[in-house]
Amino acid sequence: MGVQKFGSFLSGMIMPIIPALIAWGIITAVIVNVNEFTEGTAATDAFGEIIGPMIHFLLPILIAVQGGKMIYDVRGAVVGATATFGVIIGSDFLIAQANAALPEGADELGQIHMFIGAMIMGPLAAWVIKRLDALWEGKVKAGFEMLVNMFSAGITAFLMSVVGFFALAPIVNALMDVLGAAVRFLVDTGLLPLTSIIIEPAKVFFLNNAINHGVLTPLGISEAAAEGKSILFLLEANPGPGFGVLMAFTVFGVGAARATAPGAALIQFAGGIHEVYFPYVLMKPALLLAVIGGGATGVATNALFDSGLRAPAAPGSIFAVLIQTASDSYLGVTLSVILSAAVSFTIAAFILLASRKRDLQAEDSFSDAVARTEAAKGKSSAALAGLAAQAVSGEAAGRINSIIFACDAGMGSSAMGASVLRKKIKDAGIEGVTVTNKAVAALPGDTDLVITQQQLTDRARGQEPEAIHVSVESFMDAPEYDEVVELVRSRAEVGSAQPAAVGAGAAAPAASEPSGSATGGILTLDRVRIHSGSATRDEAMAEAAAALEAAGAVTGDYLAAMHEREETVSTFMGNELAIPHGTNEAKGAIKASALSVARYDDGVDWGGQRATFVVGIAGVGDEHLQILSRIARLFGDKATVQRLKEATSEEELLELLSAVDEG
């Protein structure tokens, strides 16, 4: 899991700058072709000067900006980017010194582009300024905050650039020399195809990002800058191996896997979303042989034809691969995709045929494989969620009468999600379906469908092994809700001959769908705040906990329980709403039901998501669920959220929060 998180972090720095890499690749290709087929002009020659500074300065700095922002928002981005210049200039200084010491006539060393240096220095410098800010937080006299903030960041950026110049640049230069020598050894000895033994299984378990973005992309960019192309961009991005496996399932698979494989193949090959083929491999680990064989075939073909890409192909779609293919590499790249798909198809076909009889008699495990893939990824995926929805739709039809939203405490987020889905089901004209919420530990064991956030799905499966499980990223605006509604509708139509378990009124339990709009003492004006600026997540949580404590609803221990809840599962709900609250074990810190609402006009970075509204929750029994149900209705509509953002006073905001049509 640590490697997956590290790889995801590296991917988070690289993926946002891929458009800049694509632009650099296009500019390089245009200038090369102009110079190759025409004499060029002074203007094109001058424009061509953009290539070097882009690869050497712009792209590493963009990486540093993104890495710093991931650690400490814009402040971290500025400090991280500034410090990274020290690493770049330090590397250039070392290269210049080495070239000056070479004997006359010897080949000089080329520049080392500081992609790895930026991946290290950007987050590191941001982390340093974040820690320093924490040291004097709340200790600066009023009126001196801006002065301290500006000079502390500037001094930190200066000091970290010195560290980059003298300490980090030599380390990164040495590391790039070692990695470059290792790649040259593999190429010269013809062993490069063996990298598929590591890369292809790593992809299936989402371990590849550390290899791809931490090693292959920086080395590939350096090689492409010098040679105009790199084979390294194709080690992981080739869509052939996954496509071959999916086509084998299309022809020789059984059950839900066979039914979903054609659609998955289109998404993977044309859309470049490789993760959709991972569940098929996880169903039968022997299929790792198929993707390894296909991957090695593709690498060997590209090595034989000396083919490569000008820049990374992201996502790994056949279209992205062909767009980035160097002008002299179309034959090799095209053959590598075709042959790798053919080899993986052949191996997968043998494996599927060998176990076909057993598969036909066994219970279809495709849904479990999708769930394991989602768990390995560590976060939700629209592509995998769609695959899961197709899988459960293809299983034996049975009417869905009960749906439970489950969260860690059953206190707030699940109640709001239940309210949103309940309304969608009602609007769809579906009757006889109860939608309630509970803590995961309180699931009864006989539910038809359970909805949880990704991190809690495995726990929910242990409580409800026979239920259909749907994982969502946020409870307010999850796209999976529409798929659930369609699944419930289709099951209702298939099972229409069966008597409904409950009447239409059961879709709206009294505890969650009260009538009227008065907020009573649960949410009062003194616990509604509007802030013109922003805050950190910790600051917003502290304000919410303080408001609840001042209302006599919680003890001083409740803030720690809020932090514990965030470490387990984020309370960001979607549509700019976060609802921090304690864990199920924190019930002892709650004395009464109460809510607090704070609006931060410049937003709160809530684990990478922007929250404008922060609703603190403390709940005893079901009292607070009445207002949460109304708030869920409000935040389920983006137009209403906009009106809440435009409220000019706490009184107006409270009125909007209270006046919800429950009809």
Q: Which residue among 407, 469, 531, 563 is the active-site one?
A: 407
Range list of H helices, 110-207: 115-135, 145-163, 169-188, 196-204
Strand order in the sheet with 402-407: 434-439, 402-407, 449-453, 468-472
Q: Virtual CA dihedral for 107, 108, 113, 114, nearest 10 degrees?
A: 130
| CB contact at 8 A, 615 and 596 | yes
Residues 6+ away with beta carbon under 8 Å from 428: 485, 489
Residue 407 is among the residues annotated as catalytic for this protein: yes
- Residue 565's nearest CA partner among 355, 401, 408 is 408
Quote helix, strand, coil % in the chain, to nearest 5. 65, 10, 25
Residue 56 is among the residues annotated as catalytic for this protein: no
Token duo for residue 268: 């993977």
d(CA 212, CA 325) in angstroms, rounded, equals 18
Token duo for residue 545: 């906990």
Token duo for residue 253: 């698979």
Q: What would you measure as the largest C-alpha separation in the chain, in angstroms?
A: 92
Distance of CA 375 to the CA centre of its chain: 13
d(CA 448, CA 467) in angstroms, rounded, equals 5
Q: Which residue among 113, 274, 581, 624 is the active-site one?
A: 581
Q: Is 364 helix (H, G, I), strand (E, B) or coil?
A: coil
| CB contact at 8 A, 6 and 210 | yes
- Other Cβ atoms closer than 10 A to 656: 15
Over its C-alpha atoms, the chain yields an Rg (Å, rounded) of 28
DSSP structure string for 254-323? -HHHHHHHHHHHHIIIII--GGGGHHHHHH-GGGHHHHHHHHHHHHHHHHHHT--BSS--SS--HHHHHH
| CB contact at 8 A, 423 and 484 | no
| CB contact at 8 A, 508 and 422 | yes
d(CA 577, CA 369) in angstroms, rounded, equals 32
Token duo for residue 573: 């709900």
d(CA 321, CA 325) in angstroms, rounded, equals 6
594-606 and 528-531 strand pairing:
parallel
Q: Virtual CA dihedral for 34, 39, 42, 43, nearest 10 degrees?
A: -30
| CB contact at 8 A, 336 and 231 | no
| CB contact at 8 A, 454 and 374 | yes
- Other Cβ atoms closer than 10 A to 414: 27
Catalytic positions: 407, 581
